[in-house]
A and B are shown apart, each in its own frame.
Chain A
């Protein structure tokens, strides 16, 4: 699995992990979000993106670009987007060019990342970190994943699963840093 390069340049991603492996300090954010898609075929709707089942998929049914919108109730820090796509199964339905946009709502989305997938077969990790090493996450109300084009020029796309990750909240509020040593963590809270 190739690492994506920083910034908004296009990056090529090939391969794909069969197993989803995420750092311990990240957690899935999307449970509290509202998910919607630009179009879908009946029976292959947005639920299939969130059902933890890799056999079900979302199939779009309209003009490109196909959009997946993720809206949060408050600004959240997001760090990582992971998609499961499989060229071997979906061939021309496999997305090839993906653009990730963030903003406060539909009116002011701004693209923060673009990747190009080359025959992916599994989990594809797309990091949202900015160029600056201090910008590890993007703080936003809304995230939009746009499928701009598919492999073999397919019109519609299949995506089997999407997960969005952000950092865990600091167990000690109003503290700008996280404790890292075990001892400090042990005595840092009452349970």
Chain B
């Protein structure tokens, strides 16, 4: 009877868990297919049925992808989990509630809390600090973000804009390469979780490449002595994994650096039998449920159940792990040792297709190995607490491997279905996994980023000719892209070479006609060249591409300004400002129009607004200088032209105005004597 009751309650619990698992799976499916309304609806039902913070995070992710930052604000306010804080901060940032965003990421009264989501969290914090004028802190956080994840280009971009970027060879150099390799080879869980967008299911929260977030969670679950093992494995460390696998594997023991074996999917599919799944219960979040599930069984009939389970577990584990370690161990070592120089057995079936699975299984495998080792030893201790512990741990491990296996969704539904699913759909997005290939891939990426980064850094410092030289060294296929070409165009623009800028921007528009980046500068180039036809055509095109981009309205405003209709131009620039109040150039253009309408007071306000956003916006400094020149406040105007000149020393126009100001101050000896001739000097 007791067994019957037990079965019923088990089934009930299993069905509840299955319900949650199915809902989660459905939500992720919808998100993957970009069906946000469906995702939101199902997710709201999920949260109503199973209120838990993790489900709330999932819902928040759905809202954010549907541009409902305000909803996220309300559901995640006050939550303390790392991923919740991160999502809350993102929503606050989008709603311009910067102090709340900052408090979420970096609580004032608890400065020791770690910034959630590693690199992404630091980057967001950096943005907040930049928006609130705390330059040094912003720089610090961007640098942190880059050191955690060297591929976070956006952080490097921000550093360049702030004028605090180191040379790209340092940032995208050796240490970055090592970092990438480390991340990539421990890639699996992170990658999958990323793809399933920010689910804090198991160990890793979305957007996190580093292994840092993984370790802390692990810590929570581990005994003290276990803790040492896992991190050791992560950091490419040494023998613990290997040691663990020793008794279980007949593969070679002299495995080099990354010796964490990972299960081979195709083999697993054969191996994944129903009994295994019984042990493997779904989600990380349901790990708690797991405990629940485990306990009724155990409490009712502990003496009976426990040993049987133990037996089953051990047997299955042995079987699986044996397979895993024997094959994969060899394979991995072959690959890695290929460059490390050690030679081991090579498994002919070490197809690259399966190679993909390896990296993904890495994490699972490593934990697996050390855990199985532990499970073997601890079992002897026979303490119930330990058993539970292991169950939990093992389930996590399984979850990891499951999440690794399933390419698309990391919903650890933990049943055969997902397992096999994963098994059949192996390579995850072409992730390269063998050690040497990772290294070469990383180095290629870094070489590319070095060039781009150096070019961007130089152009932010207005060393435009050097930037152009760097960009020219890029391979053709990268040079002929919208981004690079518009950077080239911008560099020519700063050099006052409008004809070349026109050419470069024209090519950029051909390469990416949908891209609006830098088109505001292009419209100014056309304004200077008085190409009203081209300008109005481009403005129309931009507006039809994206009505909500400030660049489109800047182009339109330039069009009106060219026709001397300054009021309409001003309206258009004000529209651009409304669309994005942190778009400095729109403010500067407003200033120019105010000046053309002889409204100097508002002109000064607009220029100052622009400077508040970007203190290195030399056009605004120039604009202020011009106003003061008109008002005959020559000292002021000279100061402003001086600042503008220091920012961009290659602009002949600024040079000549500086000369004018000097001349007006009767300080002819300080002028460059090229008031008029400056126009065509380069």
Contacts and interface: CB of A to CB of B under 8 A. Distances in A.
Nearest to B621: A190
B564 A187 contact: no
Contacts of B156: none
B654 A187 contact: no
A173 B629 contact: yes
B654 A169 contact: no
Contacts, number: 46
Interface residues of A, number: 17
Interface string B468-507: 0000000000000000000000000000101000000000
Interface in A175-191: 182, 184-191
Interface string A151-180: 000000000000000001101011000000
Nearest to B527: A191
B649 to A, nearest CB: 13
A130 to B, nearest CB: 24
The DSSP consensus for interface residues of chain B is helix
Interface string B667-682: 0000000000001100
B622 interface: yes
Interface residues of B, number: 29
B653 A190 contact: yes
Interface string A40-61: 0000000000000000000000
Given A182-B530, A186-B498, A191-B528, A173 B652 contact: no
A24 interface: yes
Contacts of B596: 169, 171
B529 interface: yes
Interface in B593-628: 596, 598, 618-619, 622, 626
Contact of A24 (B528, B564, B644): B564
Contacts of B529: 186
The DSSP consensus for interface residues of chain A is loop
Contact of B653 (A169, A174, A182, A188): A188
Interface of B: 496, 498, 524, 527-530, 558, 564, 589, 592, 596, 598, 618-619, 622, 626, 629-630, 644, 651-654, 657, 660, 664, 679-680
12 contacts: A32-B598, A169-B598, A171-B596, A173-B630, A186-B498, A187-B652, A187-B653, A187-B679, A190-B619, A190-B622, A190-B654, A191-B589
Given A27-B564, A173-B629, A191-B528, 15 more contacts: A173-B630, A174-B660, A182-B530, A184-B679, A186-B529, A186-B530, A187-B528, A187-B652, A187-B679, A190-B619, A190-B651, A190-B654, A191-B589, A191-B592, A191-B619
Interface of A: 24, 27, 32, 168-169, 171, 173-174, 182, 184-191
